[in-house]
Amino acid sequence: DQQVKQNSPSLSVQEGRISILNCDYTNSMFDYFLWYKKYPAEGPTFLISISSIKDKNEDGRFTVFLNKSAKHLSLHIVPSQPGDSAVYFCAASRTGTASKLTFGTGTRLQVTL
Amino acid sequence: ETGVTQTPRHLVMGMTNKKSLKCEQHLGHNAMYWYKQSAKKPLELMFVYSLEERVENNSVPSRFSPECPNSSHLFLHLHTLQPEDSALYLCASSQDPIVNQGVTFGSGTRLTVV
């Protein structure tokens, strides 16, 4: 049973436009959510996170929105740049001892010129 | 350089071989993890060590054997693997409980079993 789902395996966006990556989760106990970015031949790197007590967190061009009632979060990248082309993973966790992250399958973003 | 170093970066091994993956973290974290990434699948958590104690083992076959001698080092011992075990194996570390930036990953070991 996949508790974190990214239903779009790929997304293509023109440079300068907005990229919206979506993520759904099923476990209502999750209270912390993160986005990771992965380039080929590298490990995933942390991008942005949000706690369940918030519904929005912004960091430069990246904004994450959380809709707890819908168990849905999204990552907005504005404006998109060619260097943003990568695979983006959504992850969720429950805080507590030996807490762990549950990842989605990833969405490959391609930003075109 | 993320502060989590994995060696080797690439490994090709036969099904009868024994090999080990090594991970070292320089971040002062107290938890370390092994993840497996296969094509078109989520990152799968294999093992979690918190304060050098194994606290999670997600039904991983016994042909994968982790070892955590101290809070900075983590090994994954491999023996009699199958071709379907070919994947990217990622080590990660974090503070436990996870806060802020979650886990920090190494660059991974690309394993091919022939």
Are B14 and B114 in contact by the 8 Å Cβ rule? The answer is yes
Q: Mean pLDDT, chain A, as a whole number?
A: 93
Are B34 and B47 in contact by the 8 Å Cβ rule? The answer is yes
pLDDT digits 0-9 by tens, A32-56:
999 999 998 889 999 999 999 999 9
Measured CA to CA, the distance from residue B83 to residue B113 in angstroms comes to 5
Residue B39 has a pLDDT of 82
Identify the band that residue A96 occupies on the pLDDT scale cut at 50, 70 and 90: low
Residue B40 has a pLDDT of 76
Q: Is residue A97 scored above 60 in pLDDT? A: no
Q: What is the DSSP string of B5-55?
A: EEE-SEEEE-TT-EEEEEEEE-S--SEEEEEEE-TTSPPEEEEEEETTEEE
A91 touches chain B (CB under 8 A): yes
| Interface test with chain A among B7, B35, B43, by most A beta carbons within 10 Å | B43
Q: Is residue A98 scored above 80 in pLDDT? A: no
Q: Is residue A106 scored above 60 in pLDDT? A: yes
Percent above pLDDT 70 for chain A: 96
Q: How many Cβ contacts (< 8 angstroms) between chains A and B? A: 76
* Average pLDDT value for residue range B20-32: 94
Residue A57 has a pLDDT of 97
Beta-carbon contacts of B41 under 8 Å, excluding residues fewer than 6 positions away, are A105
Q: Is residue A75 scored above 60 in pLDDT? A: yes
